[in-house]
Amino acid sequence: MGGQSVLLWLRYGSGWVPALGDSSGHLQVDVLTTTNLDVALSTLRWGTASEPAWETGAITDNPGAGTALVSKTVGASKTGQVFGLSINAPEANEFVLYEDATAKLRFALAAAGLIFISSPSPIWANVAAGVVISIKNISAATAAGKYYQARLYYKEA
Protein backbone atom coordinates (compact mmCIF):
# COMPACT_ATOMS: atom_id res chain seq x y z
CA MET A 1 0.00 0.00 0.00
CA GLY A 2 3.01 2.29 0.15
CA GLY A 3 2.09 4.54 3.12
CA GLN A 4 -1.59 4.93 2.23
CA SER A 5 -4.09 5.15 5.08
CA VAL A 6 -6.96 2.73 5.45
CA LEU A 7 -10.11 3.45 7.46
CA LEU A 8 -11.96 0.48 8.96
CA TRP A 9 -15.09 0.55 11.13
CA LEU A 10 -15.27 -2.14 13.81
CA ARG A 11 -18.21 -2.84 16.16
CA TYR A 12 -17.20 -2.39 19.82
CA GLY A 13 -19.82 -2.66 22.60
CA SER A 14 -22.52 -0.04 21.96
CA GLY A 15 -20.38 1.98 19.57
CA TRP A 16 -18.21 1.83 16.48
CA VAL A 17 -14.44 1.93 16.37
CA PRO A 18 -12.73 3.73 13.48
CA ALA A 19 -9.40 2.04 12.98
CA LEU A 20 -6.86 3.94 10.90
CA GLY A 21 -3.99 1.83 9.67
CA ASP A 22 -1.12 2.13 7.25
CA SER A 23 1.15 -0.22 5.37
CA SER A 24 3.71 -0.19 8.21
CA GLY A 25 1.28 -2.03 10.47
CA HIS A 26 0.53 0.94 12.73
CA LEU A 27 -3.07 1.03 13.91
CA GLN A 28 -4.93 3.79 15.75
CA VAL A 29 -8.26 2.90 17.36
CA ASP A 30 -10.75 5.25 19.06
CA VAL A 31 -14.01 4.07 20.61
CA LEU A 32 -17.13 5.91 19.47
CA THR A 33 -20.32 5.75 21.48
CA THR A 34 -23.75 6.78 20.28
CA THR A 35 -23.28 10.10 22.11
CA ASN A 36 -20.27 11.14 20.02
CA LEU A 37 -21.01 9.26 16.78
CA ASP A 38 -22.75 12.26 15.15
CA VAL A 39 -19.78 14.51 15.93
CA ALA A 40 -17.34 11.91 14.62
CA LEU A 41 -19.29 11.41 11.38
CA SER A 42 -19.58 15.19 10.85
CA THR A 43 -15.84 15.51 11.41
CA LEU A 44 -15.12 12.75 8.92
CA ARG A 45 -17.44 14.23 6.28
CA TRP A 46 -16.91 17.98 6.70
CA GLY A 47 -13.58 18.26 8.52
CA THR A 48 -15.14 19.81 11.64
CA ALA A 49 -17.87 18.88 14.10
CA SER A 50 -20.33 21.29 12.46
CA GLU A 51 -22.28 20.67 9.27
CA PRO A 52 -23.29 23.08 6.51
CA ALA A 53 -26.81 24.53 6.58
CA TRP A 54 -29.01 25.99 3.86
CA GLU A 55 -29.31 29.78 3.79
CA THR A 56 -32.48 30.44 1.79
CA GLY A 57 -33.19 33.71 -0.01
CA ALA A 58 -36.69 35.10 -0.41
CA ILE A 59 -38.77 34.26 -3.47
CA THR A 60 -38.26 37.26 -5.75
CA ASP A 61 -40.80 38.34 -8.39
CA ASN A 62 -39.38 39.90 -11.57
CA PRO A 63 -35.87 40.65 -10.21
CA GLY A 64 -33.86 43.36 -11.92
CA ALA A 65 -30.36 42.68 -13.22
CA GLY A 66 -27.87 42.19 -10.39
CA THR A 67 -30.44 41.38 -7.70
CA ALA A 68 -28.98 39.49 -4.73
CA LEU A 69 -31.19 36.39 -4.57
CA VAL A 70 -29.49 35.15 -1.38
CA SER A 71 -26.79 36.67 0.84
CA LYS A 72 -24.78 35.51 3.84
CA THR A 73 -22.26 37.57 5.82
CA VAL A 74 -19.34 35.61 7.23
CA GLY A 75 -19.32 35.87 11.03
CA ALA A 76 -16.65 37.67 13.06
CA SER A 77 -13.44 35.65 13.52
CA LYS A 78 -14.78 32.98 11.14
CA THR A 79 -14.00 31.72 7.64
CA GLY A 80 -16.88 31.06 5.26
CA GLN A 81 -17.24 27.97 3.10
CA VAL A 82 -19.83 27.24 0.42
CA PHE A 83 -20.56 23.53 -0.07
CA GLY A 84 -23.36 23.94 -2.56
CA LEU A 85 -26.11 26.08 -3.96
CA SER A 86 -29.55 25.94 -5.46
CA ILE A 87 -30.91 28.42 -8.01
CA ASN A 88 -34.45 28.22 -9.37
CA ALA A 89 -35.60 30.39 -12.28
CA PRO A 90 -38.53 30.25 -14.73
CA GLU A 91 -36.41 31.32 -17.70
CA ALA A 92 -32.88 31.30 -19.08
CA ASN A 93 -30.44 33.49 -17.17
CA GLU A 94 -26.93 33.55 -15.78
CA PHE A 95 -26.00 33.74 -12.11
CA VAL A 96 -22.83 34.69 -10.26
CA LEU A 97 -21.52 33.80 -6.80
CA TYR A 98 -19.97 36.96 -5.35
CA GLU A 99 -17.63 37.82 -2.48
CA ASP A 100 -18.77 41.36 -1.75
CA ALA A 101 -18.57 42.96 -5.24
CA THR A 102 -16.09 40.44 -6.72
CA ALA A 103 -17.47 37.74 -9.03
CA LYS A 104 -16.08 34.30 -8.19
CA LEU A 105 -18.17 31.58 -9.91
CA ARG A 106 -20.60 31.82 -12.83
CA PHE A 107 -23.55 29.52 -13.56
CA ALA A 108 -25.72 29.46 -16.70
CA LEU A 109 -29.29 28.24 -16.94
CA ALA A 110 -30.22 27.64 -20.60
CA ALA A 111 -33.98 27.50 -19.98
CA ALA A 112 -36.43 27.42 -17.08
CA GLY A 113 -35.12 25.08 -14.43
CA LEU A 114 -32.97 24.44 -11.40
CA ILE A 115 -29.24 24.49 -10.78
CA PHE A 116 -28.39 22.28 -7.78
CA ILE A 117 -24.89 21.60 -6.45
CA SER A 118 -23.99 19.82 -3.23
CA SER A 119 -20.41 18.78 -2.57
CA PRO A 120 -18.59 17.09 0.35
CA SER A 121 -15.77 19.58 -0.16
CA PRO A 122 -16.22 23.35 -0.51
CA ILE A 123 -16.94 24.74 -3.98
CA TRP A 124 -15.75 28.09 -2.60
CA ALA A 125 -13.73 28.46 0.62
CA ASN A 126 -11.58 30.75 2.76
CA VAL A 127 -13.97 33.68 2.66
CA ALA A 128 -12.85 36.22 5.26
CA ALA A 129 -14.91 37.42 8.23
CA GLY A 130 -17.30 40.27 7.40
CA VAL A 131 -17.42 39.47 3.67
CA VAL A 132 -20.86 39.07 2.09
CA ILE A 133 -21.32 35.95 -0.05
CA SER A 134 -24.23 36.32 -2.47
CA ILE A 135 -25.78 34.91 -5.62
CA LYS A 136 -26.99 37.48 -8.16
CA ASN A 137 -28.76 37.17 -11.50
CA ILE A 138 -27.06 38.76 -14.53
CA SER A 139 -30.07 39.72 -16.65
CA ALA A 140 -33.37 41.17 -15.48
CA ALA A 141 -36.41 38.89 -15.48
CA THR A 142 -38.55 39.36 -18.56
CA ALA A 143 -41.91 40.03 -16.88
CA ALA A 144 -43.91 40.14 -13.67
CA GLY A 145 -44.79 36.69 -12.40
CA LYS A 146 -41.26 35.38 -13.07
CA TYR A 147 -40.24 34.09 -9.62
CA TYR A 148 -36.58 33.43 -8.77
CA GLN A 149 -35.06 31.91 -5.63
CA ALA A 150 -31.55 30.90 -4.55
CA ARG A 151 -29.98 29.10 -1.58
CA LEU A 152 -26.43 28.63 -0.30
CA TYR A 153 -25.22 25.43 1.43
CA TYR A 154 -22.89 27.20 3.85
CA LYS A 155 -20.80 26.69 6.96
CA GLU A 156 -18.26 28.62 8.98
CA ALA A 157 -14.97 27.30 10.33
Confidence of residue 50 (pLDDT cuts 50, 70, 90): confident
Confidence of residue 30 (pLDDT cuts 50, 70, 90): low
Helix, strand and coil content of the chain, in percent to the nearest 5, comes to 5, 50, 40
Confidence of residue 37 (pLDDT cuts 50, 70, 90): low
Average pLDDT over residues 4-24: 57
Helix H segments across the chain? 37-46
Q: Can you list the domains of the chain with their CATH numbers?
A: 6-46 (no CATH), 53-156 (2.60.120)
Q: What is the pLDDT of residue 133?
A: 98
Q: What is the pLDDT of residue 22?
A: 53
Q: What percent of the chain has pLDDT over 70?
A: 69
Average pLDDT over residues 35-61: 77
In this predicted model, what pLDDT tens digit does every residue of 84-136 receive, in sequence order?
999 999 999 999 999 999 999 999 999 999 999 998 889 999 999 999 999 99
- If you average pLDDT over every residue of the chain, what do you get? 84
